[in-house]
Amino acid sequence: MTICSAYYGDTPRYMHSPFNAELAPTPLANLAGEYGVELYLGLLLGTPNVDGIGGIELPHHDQLKQRIELSPRSSRDWTIPRPVVFELDGTPMVKTLVLTDGSGNRLAYGVLRSGRSAVFPTDRIAFPSHQILIRRIRSSQ
């Protein structure tokens, strides 16, 4: 289940696929100056603070932590050039998409967004290709 986006009378409405997200780098990624090679996407319950700390990462099953590759989108953003789908077991209150390295360090995060909603929660979070944007790390030089 994704965060309630609106109400229909007294009934909450829940976001549904297709989703999109824009991820901002954490201070750790900014300090490193790059995202690295081994990258994974995962889902968080809650939202981390500006340092990328906080929120509970869902268990690391194959479906809930996916290896990804970045592709250039613009001078400001990277993108993921393939669809990304998370099949959830049950309907946890997912709010945030997180980019991590092979050691589990959080490199970027952003809230889920969708233009569709329904009165029932979803157990499938699907991002079409190129609908996840990851801001580039700006050089400090």
78-127 confidence digits (pLDDT tens): 999 999 999 888 767 889 999 999 998 999 999 999 999 888 888 899 99
Q: Please report the pLDDT score of residue 96 as a whole number.
A: 94
Domain membership of residue 34 as a residue range: 4-135
For residues 48 and 60, the model is more confident at 48
Residue 141 lies in a domain: no
pLDDT-derived band at 46 (thresholds 50, 70, 90) equals: confident
Residue type, 72: P
Residue 61 lies in a domain: yes
Q: Please report the pLDDT score of residue 123 as a whole number.
A: 87
Q: How far is the C-alpha of 44 from the C-alpha of 53, rounded, in Å?
A: 11
Contact call for residues 67 and 79 (beta carbons, < 8 A): no
Predicted structure pTM score: 0.88
Residue 66 lies in a domain: yes
Please give the share of the chain, as a percent, with pLDDT higher than 70: 88
Average pLDDT over residues 71-76: 95
Is residue 4 over pLDDT 60? no
Overall number of domains in the chain: 1
Residue 140 lies in a domain: no
